[in-house]
Amino acid sequence: MSVTVLIVPGLRDHAAQHWQTLLAAELPQVKSVKPMGRDDLDCQKRIEAIETAISNIEGPVVIVAHSAGCIMTAHWARTTKYVHLVQGALLVTPPDFETPMPKTYPTIEALRTGGWLPTPRNILPFTSTVAYSQDDPLGSVETVEQLANDWGSFKVNLGFVGHMNPASGYGHWPEARTLLSRFFDLEINHQ
């Protein structure tokens, strides 16, 4: 049975030039958790959205999460009944929600009220890779490396890539395919 990639976005709306959106267009079997923006920070709704998405997938799943999607995935992993389907997870630039973030992002109090905090730090029940940035404004190298250690994840230092989003200059990101190939044989639709 072929692997389905599940895209788990962070606290953003749909972004046509986001690397996750572009990657989804290249892969043969992809589902996405609908982006929910920053207006409603209810973490439980997002966990339920992951659960619903995976419940509608037959066969193995590889999760591709970005930013807050990484934290959502860690919360989801603690309660899901579908963990046995997850073959692996690529977790890209997880934020440090326990440290104040730039003004355009939610406050610690808003995140706490929304159920995001404390950040889960238990070992994830599936193989995972945390890909992180040397200059991410939403998470220091030390904090993200410790989070990866806590989750039992492999670590990949991407260098100076900001938050790996369009604002940091990242749309198409070929290295995502390379990192995903650690979890399964990848067939790409070249368009």
Mean of pLDDT values over 123-135:
97
183 — pLDDT class (breaks 50, 70, 90) = confident
pLDDT value of position 171: 87
Domains of the chain (ranges; CATH) run: 18-26+41-180 (3.40.50.1820)
Cβ neighbours of 160 (radius 10 Å): 10
Dihedral over alpha carbons 159, 160, 166, 169 (to 10 degrees): -110
pTM of the model: 0.94
Residue 68, pLDDT > 90, answer: yes
φ, ψ of residue 92 to 5 degrees: the values are -105, 125
